[in-house]
Structure 1
Amino acid sequence: MEDLERFYSDLKRFTYILKFHDKNVAESWIKQLHAHLKPEYIESCLIAAIFELSITDVDTFHWVLDNLSHWDTYTHLLQEVTKFVVQKLIKEGFIPGQDFSATSEGKILIHENARKVIISDISQSDNLLIKKILLTSPEIHFLTIS
């Protein structure tokens, strides 16, 4: 129970710190955590903070992903979201290179009909994360519906 209380306390503290929208403060907090805690614990706390913010403070959620995306934790999270989307598209019968394709930046170029399938039946948190990696018309003009 003590570990769970510690995690919850660290999670609350970190979401509070992120709400300042100050990159230096956030990075200082992470350095402090690294001095005392295992990297796996820190990553779990950061991911939990992202999901917490996606529900409680969408502006801070977007700020974190836009300004702290160079952090390994967030890079890994977005990579997992990308894998999830690609797997779901393939499972739903969409064809790579025809209905969607990935960019070198980890974005997915996608037709509107495929986007609708992806965003159906997902949580608010997943929806926000997926929107960070999808590019659809009019963002792309060179993919056409076949």
Structure 2
Amino acid sequence: MLDRNPLQLETEIARIARVMMTRNSEIGSDIIDDLRTKLTSEELAGLLLVGIERILWFDVDAVFWTIEQMIPADLMQEIRKITNLAFYKQLINQKFIPGVDFSIDADGKLLLNHNAKAALLKSKG
């Protein structure tokens, strides 16, 4: 496990972001394999999300490449769990009702009615 030292976490996030920008799947796989020995799947998914956030604003193509080529399926599932939970909390805080306005299907896909979808899109814009 990583020591959770902020500097060490920042170093790992920077490594992840750099490999996303270089689009080198071998290096990406090696870094993910190394981090799997130090972090839980949830923690690693969180680091990947932060790395994606870092490059999203200036290299959208690298984000698409990362999602399609670099992130293994099990970590994508963890990322979905993290993001779905964040969306769930946001929708509940906006007074939407789980099971009525939004839900998650058996595959982990977030299902939204029109109003819930509009609220999420509005809050991101």
Tell me if TM exceeds 0.5. Answer: yes
In the aligned structure 2, how far is the partner of 1:49 from the partner of 1:23?
15
Counterpart for residue 89 of structure 1:
91
Q: Determine which of 105, 108, 120 is the counterpart of 1:106.
A: 108
Helix, strand or coil at the partner of 1:120: helix
In the aligned structure 2, how far is the partner of 1:89 from the partner of 1:32?
36
In the aligned structure 2, how far is the partner of 1:118 from the partner of 1:59?
23
Unmatched runs of 5 consecutive residues or more in structure 2:
none
Shift of 1:105: 1.9
Structure 1 residues 28 and 112: alpha-carbon distance in aligned structure 2, compared to 1, 3 A threshold? same
Residue pair 2:21, 2:55 contacting (<8 A) in 1 also:
no
Q: Determine which of 112, 121, 124 is the counterpart of 1:122.
A: 124
Output the aligned Cα RMSD: 3.0
Aligned-pair identity in percent equals 21
Larger radius of gyration: 1
Structure 1 residues 109 and 8: alpha-carbon distance in aligned structure 2, compared to 1, 3 A threshold? closer
Counterpart for residue 39 of structure 1:
39
Amino acid corresponding to residue 93 of structure 1 in structure 2? K
Q: Determine which of 59, 64, 70 is the counterpart of 2:73.
A: 70
Helix, strand or coil at the partner of 2:103: strand
In the aligned structure 1, how far is the partner of 2:120 from the partner of 2:72?
23
TM-score, reference length from structure 1:
0.60
Amino acid corresponding to residue 51 of structure 1 in structure 2? E
In the aligned structure 2, how far is the partner of 1:49 from the partner of 1:105?
25
Q: How many residues are matched?
A: 117
Q: Determine which of 13, 21, 24 is the counterpart of 2:23.
A: 21
Amino acid corresponding to residue 70 of structure 1 in structure 2? A
Q: Deviations over 1:112-142 (max 9, x none)?
A: 221111122337xxxxxxxxxxxxxxxxxxx
TM-score, reference length from structure 2:
0.67
